[in-house]
Structure 1
Amino acid sequence: MAVYTEVTDEALRAFLADYALGELLAFRGITEGVENSNYALKTAAGDFILTLYEKRVDPRELPWFLALMEHLVARGIDCPLPVKAADGLALRSLAGRPAAICTFLPGLWPRRVRPEHCAPLGGALARLHLAGADFAEMRPNSLGPAAWGPLLERCRPGCDAVQPGLVAELDAALAGILAVWPEGEALPAGQIHADLFPDNVFFLDGADGRPCVSGLIDFYFACTDLLAYDIAVCLNAWCFEADGSYNVTRAHALLAAYQRLRPLSAAERAALPVLCRGAALRFLLTRLYDWTATPVGALVTRKDPLEYLRKLRFFSRAEGPASLGL
């Protein structure tokens, strides 16, 4: 989440006039993240999140994202529910941007990930994949393997300023990943989140004191792709320590919980190392691009691309799926 586009009090009140949400009580920008402009919104009807969609999101794809969230909520997944205005539409316009209001979810995202978080995460991811199985409309992954080469070209002029030799290392990594990437019907595919980082997963303590997932948020990279790729994204995002070491205990907890609900096929297990390399490269490249292209004055914290270079190197050395926690 972030704030790129400012919203005036007058514009917001005019926007809210089309909703049955009651009096506006509080409104503030949320500065975490890099993608859209997000605001915490409190009205007489409760707490909500207002999102203004920025340039990276194709406005033509927004109805797909909102429809997917509606579908998942209807099947018991704790994710934001788009709020419809008086005309029955959830997607509207505010401050020159497409905009939508969604319900607010309780809970906190974990600032320090523990194995106790990874098991409920694995179960939540499996339930998400199963719940999306009958969402028929497809959306190709706009940041999948076909996008990595063009994105690297856009980053190329500034790569070696970030770290000497980075261009050559990324060229070799991309070629090696694409040479063995699973194609076509090789692995099960469906609706995936594709960005399930710790700050997109909320937890509350359960009756036994253990953390339980209370919400999955930020579906604006969701797409139709390999289900096991979503697992690879999570292994990248949840299973490394601050010193860059891979925590196989966390990974095993995540994978075991996932497989209790949706067992991986032999082909998915074999492909997991290259899927992890691809996920590391994807986030390295988007972070690298944002590192040099974030607009001046945006209230947003840039993220270190080299964190994912270290992860890419780890997965490139991994000796089969067993070394990843399977």
Structure 2
Amino acid sequence: MAVYTEVTDEELNDFIGKYDVGRLLSFKGIAEGVENSNFLVHTDKASFILTLYEKRVSPDDLPYFLNLMQHLAAKGLSCPTPVASRSGALLGTLSGRPAALVTFLEGMWVKRPRVDHCAELGKAMAELHIDGQDYDGFRRNALDVSGWRPLFDQCGTRCDTVHPGLGAEISRELDHLENGWPADLPGGVIHADLFPDNVFFLGDELSGLIDFYFACNDAFAYDIAICLNAWCFEQDLSFNVTKARALLKGYAEVRPLSHAEYDALPTLCRGASLRFLLTRLYDWLSVPEGALVTPKDPMEYLKKLRFHQSVETAQAYGLKR
């Protein structure tokens, strides 16, 4: 359940009253998502998503996220658009939490992506990268290669309680990636969390991208690597090269990859799988007793990491240079 902070009717009415969005009719909590408290809000004018930002999100980062969504929407990318209050502010306070109201995006995420979904994702991701190139905000990726070892250190010796030998395996992989991480790749704004539940479709047509709260400045190809991990493995964790080829081909139709990006994909995919292995592992080991949120299984990304360790060239992902 992704409602961590309860909101009273009176508090919400006062908050909505600061916006020119009509009279509040109803609201309900949204169960999906793990980082923030989200509510679907209906007024007599339209529907909106209200987000209360919880403790894991730094208030200092919120202007970057909100202004980025506004910038991308102005460029024509389909994504939620922050609504300004009558005072012109994109960010307010509700129930003691920073809060923002954004437009409601029609569509549903697909639980079992098909090849055509992967192609559409590739195109939309490339459009995001191009549209964000003139965004003047900057946010360092706090979960890049330099942030993985500190996260691993916080897990400590408890790694092996999840899987025997896991700590040593992660340590070896960190050594490899820290010594060989690609530098000077084309970069700019990336989403950094384009999992299927953050991509909406209406039928077979992609209707928009949501949840920009991990967005940052990093290598474009790293965003691609995250998506290859998130979209191109089947339920049995076998790699579907047809989906990967469609994703990469769709991306390249909008923004062609450089030779350096192509060559770096195997290493970037290893890094992306390790990043999500580590964050899931940390969450798995840190859930307080009685918590309502079930953490995601870190072992899924260990298996994905092992696949990428076997890859020698990007041809394994279905795209020839």
Q: Once the two structures are superposed, what CA deviation does each residue of 1:165-203 show, in whole Å capped at 9, x if it has no partner?
A: 1111111111111111012xx210110000000000000
Matched, 1:71 2:71: yes
Aligned residue in 1 for 2:187: 189
CA distance in 2, matches of 1:299, 1:93: 25
Aligned residue in 1 for 2:114: 114
Aligned residue in 2 for 1:80: 80
Distance 1:158 1:33, change over 3 A: farther
Does the CA-based 8 Å contact 1:37-1:53 persist in structure 2? yes
Match for residue 231 of structure 1 among 224, 227, 245: 224
**239-248 or 55-64, larger mean C-alpha shift:** 55-64
CA distance in 1, matches of 2:52, 2:15: 12
Distance 1:180 1:255, change over 3 A: same
Match for residue 253 of structure 1 among 246, 254, 258: 246
Aligned residue in 2 for 1:6: 6
CA distance in 1, matches of 2:311, 2:272: 14
Structure 1 runs (4+) greater than 4 angstroms displaced? 295-299
SS in 2 for 1:33: coil
Does the CA-based 8 Å contact 1:151-1:285 persist in structure 2? yes
Q: Once the two structures are superposed, what CA deviation does each residue of 1:241-271 show, in whole Å capped at 9, x if it has no partner?
A: 0001000000000000100111100000000
Aligned residue in 1 for 2:161: 161
AA matched with 1:68: L
Distance 1:297 1:218, change over 3 A: farther
Q: CA deviation at 1:17?
A: 1.5
Aligned residue in 1 for 2:300: 307
CA distance in 1, matches of 2:290, 2:42: 26
Alignment gaps of 5+ in structure 2: none
Aligned residue in 2 for 1:55: 55
Q: CA deviation at 1:90?
A: 1.0
Aligned pairs for 1:103-182 (under 5 A) are: 103-182=103-182
Aligned pairs for 1:174-323 (under 5 A) are: 174-183=174-183, 186-205=184-203, 211-295=204-288, 299-323=292-316
CA distance in 2, matches of 1:297, 1:22: 39
CA RMSD of aligned residues (A): 1.3
Percent of aligned pairs with the same amino acid: 60
CA distance in 1, matches of 2:171, 2:5: 35
TM-score normalized with structure 1 length: 0.95
Does the CA-based 8 Å contact 1:109-1:201 persist in structure 2? yes
Aligned residue in 1 for 2:95: 95
Task: Flag the structure with more relative contact order, 1 or 2, with Cα contacts below 8 A and sequence separation at least 6.
Answer: 1
Q: CA deviation at 1:298?
A: 5.0
Does the CA-based 8 Å contact 1:19-1:84 persist in structure 2? yes
Aligned pairs for 1:14-25 (under 5 A) are: 14-25=14-25
